[in-house]
Structures are given as C-alpha cells and as structure tokens.
Chains A and B, each alone.
Chain A
Amino acid sequence: EVQLMETGGGLIQPGGSLRLSCTASGVTVSSNYMSWVRQTPGKGLEWVSIIYSDGSTFYTDSVKGRFAISRDNSKNMLHLQMNSLKAEDTAVYYCARTGVGSGYDYFDYWGQGTLVTVSS
C-alpha cells in the first residue's frame, strides 16, 4: 500500500523560508515521478513542482527561483524548500506520486497535506 505523509508546514512570516518533507512507504521515491500540489480556497488546486526519476525538476512559474524540490533516496523522502515566501503561497501542500504511462502523467497517490500559512 502506498502511503505519503507530509510534514513541515506551519506559520511563517513573509520573506521567510520553510522546508516541507514527504515520507513515502510502498513506493520508491527515486524510481518515480513525484510532485507537490497546493490548494487554496481562492485559487483551488495548483501544481507546484515535479521531480522525475532521472532527477530533472520543473516548477510552476510563480515559484521558479524561490522553491526547490529534492529527494533523499536513503530515507525515501521528498522535500520542498520554500524561500522568499509570500502571502499568496499560503495553502495546503500535498505530496503526490505522479504515475506515468504512454506519455501521460497523473497524480495517483496523495498525502494528507500540510498547511503553510504565510502571514505577519
């Protein structure tokens, strides 16, 4: 059974930094595409970042240069380093395994989410 559990959320001031972690079981992070997706009441669901099994990384435009996705293969964990945080980064952040096949990809396993609140 695939399980993903996010940690690291909390209240942070604008301009601050936060590191989210996702601990995986039942799936090998290094062998899979893994993503971060966030959700706000106002903007709904928004894909944030993805890391491919070959280590390639991609980001949505609004976080480029501020966020960094990475993985710890020895601990089977996914991370999201978030710097220069803004109020609009306030959201529930989900870790998601990204299934792939025949050129398609989709978020087939999700964690329970961790809330990040950026406010002074």
Chain B
Amino acid sequence: DIQMTQSPSSLSASVGDRVTITCRASQSINTYLNWYQQKPGKAPKLLIYAASNLQSGVPSRFSGSGSGTDFTLTISSLQPEDFATYYCQQSHIQRTFGQGTKVESK
C-alpha cells in the first residue's frame, strides 16, 4: 500500500497569510495526487487534481505542485472561508488519503 503523510497535522494562521501544506508519498506516484478541502459536517471538496490542476470554480489563491514523492498545497492569501481541514490523496495504485491538515485561526 502507498502511505501518504501530511505535515503539519495542524497549523494556526491569520487571514492574509501564505499557507503551505506538504504531502509525502511512501513511493513515487508521479503526479497522481489530488487535494481536498473539508469543513465540519460537510463532504470533502476537490481543489486540485493531478498535482497542479485547479478544479473548476476553485479560487486561484489555491495552487499545487510536486511530483514523485513530495507535493505541496499553497494558499497564497488565506481567506476566512479557508479555515478547514485539507487532505491529499493518491490515485497511482489504488487510492489512499493523507491524515489531514487542520488550518485554524491564530
């Protein structure tokens, strides 16, 4: 199984901050990496697919990068609606998720 490890598990940030979340795969997954945002009581929402492609309707302040085993999700200027938990997910072999990164208000 491919394990996905996110860091940090949580972070505190302020509106306007640049936020970076990393995701590491236990083996190379090329660019088969997706990012989701989840708010309490809601289903996850797709933000980024294939490592760097912005899903339709997602604000351009979200961006993704990386390939192989190391990936990054960046929020260029954190907005109030961005406080949530973020998950990475690989689709190279089967499909597995990271454990999540909770973005909280400082």
B69 contacts A by Cβ under 8 Å? no
Q: How many residues of chain A have a CB within 8 Å of chain B? A: 22
Binds A, one of B16-24, B71-79, B94-102: B94-102
Which of A45, A47, A50, A104 sits near B49, CB closer than 8 Å?
A104
Q: A101 to chain B: closest CB distance in Å?
A: 8
Interface SS of chain A: helix, strand, loop or mixed?
strand
Chain A residues with CB under 8 A of B49: 99, 104, 106, 108
List residues of B whose CB falls within 8 A of some A CB.
Answer: 1, 31-32, 34, 36, 42-46, 49-50, 55, 87, 89, 91, 94-100
Binds B, one of A20-28, A82-90, A109-117: A109-117
Q: Are A112 and B43 in contact (CB under 8 A)?
A: yes
Cα–Cα distance between A80 and B46 once the two chains are bound (Å): 23
Cα–Cα distance between A94 and B97 once the two chains are bound (Å): 14
Of A44, A45, A46, A60, most buried by chain B (CB within 10 Å of CB) is: A45
Which of B1, B44, B94, B100 sits near A107, CB closer than 8 Å?
B44
A120 contacts B by Cβ under 8 Å? no
A74 contacts B by Cβ under 8 Å? no
Q: Are A107 and B34 in contact (CB under 8 A)?
A: yes
Given contacts A44-B97, A50-B95, A104-B91, 20 further A-B contacts (CB under 8 A): A44-B87, A44-B98, A44-B99, A45-B44, A45-B97, A45-B100, A47-B95, A47-B97, A58-B94, A61-B1, A104-B31, A104-B50, A105-B91, A106-B49, A106-B50, A106-B89, A107-B44, A108-B46, A112-B43, A113-B43
Q: B12 to chain A: closest CB distance in Å?
A: 21
Q: A20 to chain B: closest CB distance in Å?
A: 15
Cα–Cα distance between A102 and B89 once the two chains are bound (Å): 17
